[in-house]
């Protein structure tokens, strides 16, 4: 039985060599957003392969094609920091909230990063809003955890209770100027 590799890989095995060759032509700065369309690779894929490819179906190739190595290296630290902070929270067994938020952010981020090898995109889009929200909560909790561990309290506040003394203001019903009508 002979299997069609193009059918198994959805044509990626045919288009990726062309994408890699195009990346090699401008490896440092890339071609800008939507490079697959702007450089003619999409047209080539349609005409030569008979398949529609608006993007390379590989997020890392897409980043390198669009932004080059310089842009790719500017984006990777964002994901690294989110991954490190989320994993740190997930592994912290002192507070169940840390584990839950860290685990959710870590799971969503790892799902994106692994799925990016064969599809997806690293650009923000509506499908990853939940992931970015989970990462935002995880980053906030991570900072809060650091402050609590250092004894500073949350964002520089002390752990000592704050006593607020409010002055009781009696209403003055004799002052009718506030209610005067003209």
For the chain, what are the domain ranges?
10-152
Q: How many residues does the chain have?
A: 182
Sorting pLDDT into bands at 50, 70 and 90, what band is 48? confident
Q: Which two tokens stand for residue 54?
A: 């608006």
Please answer whether residues 65 and 29 qualify as being in contact, where contact means their C-beta atoms are separated by less than 8 angstroms.
Answer: no
The gap from C-alpha 71 to its chain's centroid, in whole angstroms, comes to 15
Please answer whether residues 58 and 12 qualify as being in contact, where contact means their C-beta atoms are separated by less than 8 angstroms.
Answer: yes
Please answer whether residues 71 and 63 qualify as being in contact, where contact means their C-beta atoms are separated by less than 8 angstroms.
Answer: yes
> Does residue 98 carry a pLDDT above 90?
yes
> Mean pLDDT in the chain?
84
Q: What is the DSSP letter of 9?
A: T
> Does residue 50 carry a pLDDT above 80?
no
> Does residue 120 carry a pLDDT above 70?
yes
Q: Name the helix (H) or strand (E) containing 17.
A: helix 12-25
Looking at residues 151-167, what average pLDDT do you find? 63
Looking at residues 59-82, what average pLDDT do you find? 94
| Percentage of residues in the chain having pLDDT higher than 90 | 47
State whether residue 148 is helix, strand or coil: helix
């Amino acid at each position: 039985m002979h299997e069609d590799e193009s059918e198994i890989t959805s044509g990626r095995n045919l288009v990726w060599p062309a994408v890699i060759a195009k990346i090699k032509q401008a490896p440092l700065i890339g071609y800008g957003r939507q490079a697959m369309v702007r450089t003619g690779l999409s047209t080539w894929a349609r005409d030569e392969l008979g398949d529609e490819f608006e993007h390379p179906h590989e997020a890392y190739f897409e980043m390198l094609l669009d932004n080059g190595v310089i842009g790719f290296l500017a984006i990777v630290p964002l994901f690294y920091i989110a991954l490190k902070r989320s994993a740190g929270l997930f592994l912290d067994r002192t507070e169940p909230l840390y584990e839950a938020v860290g685990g959710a952010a870590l799971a969503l981020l790892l799902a994106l990063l692994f799925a990016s090898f064969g599809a997806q995109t690293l650009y923000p889009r509506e499908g990853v809003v939940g992931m970015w929200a989970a990462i935002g909560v995880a980053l906030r909790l991570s900072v809060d955890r650091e402050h609590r561990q250092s004894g500073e309290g949350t964002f520089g506040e002390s752990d000592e209770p704050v006593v607020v003394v409010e002055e009781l203001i009696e209403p003055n019903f004799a002052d009718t100027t506030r209610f005067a009508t003209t």
